Amino acid sequence: MQWLINTLIWLPAIIIGLTFHEYAHGRVAYWLGDDTPYYQGRLTLNPLPHIDWVGFFMLLFFKFGWAKPVEVNPYNFRNSGVKQGMMLVSLAGPAMNLMLALTGMLILKFYGIDPGAGFSLYTNSTVLLLVGPLVYINLILAVFNLIPLPPLDGSKILAGLLPDSGAQFMYSIEQYGPLILLLFIITGAFGKILNPLVNIMYSLLYTAVF
């Protein structure tokens, strides 16, 4: 029963965060001149086209999952170079998650609800139960995807900032990225990296709004 309650509390925020994240990737790619996301039906805020059902059920039962990646053809970009375009497309997803987290925090501020400097859902406030997960989940998605490890967005953002030789190296290790990522998750190393960064981002956001 507790698992069901937790799922009902967190699931809407997870779906919103993943949907807006992938939509942002597709929208920026489209703005840059690539119509691949348009023809694949990804320029929508309907969650269904963005859901990878294996990743979705992994998320529900194992607390780690993924959405369906937006396919992009950087050689279609007309408004930027390939490397810079991919950097912008990759940055769009985490940036959208940060915007959603900020929006959630502003909603809490509007209702006069102080969530505290340390995140907690031990409350009888309906608004905090609805909006609090939106803040925290989107911070997790933003920080997680900014880690510069393929296939995460951070690797392509870093590649866009590096000289061509460095960018080529980042792309060359992309095939090993999922295995490295899985190893980090299994060993628990990822949590030791992710949790402090999320807490720092939460503190910065809280301080900025409250």
Residues designated catalytic: 22
165 vs 131: CA distance, rounded Å: 43
Cα 16 from Cα 96, distance rounded (Å): 11
Q: What DSSP string runs through 115-162? A: --SS----SS-HHHHHHHHHHHHHHHHHHHHHSSSTTSHHHHHHHHHS
Supply the DSSP symbol for 46.
-
Residues 9/137, Cβ–Cβ less than 8 Å? no
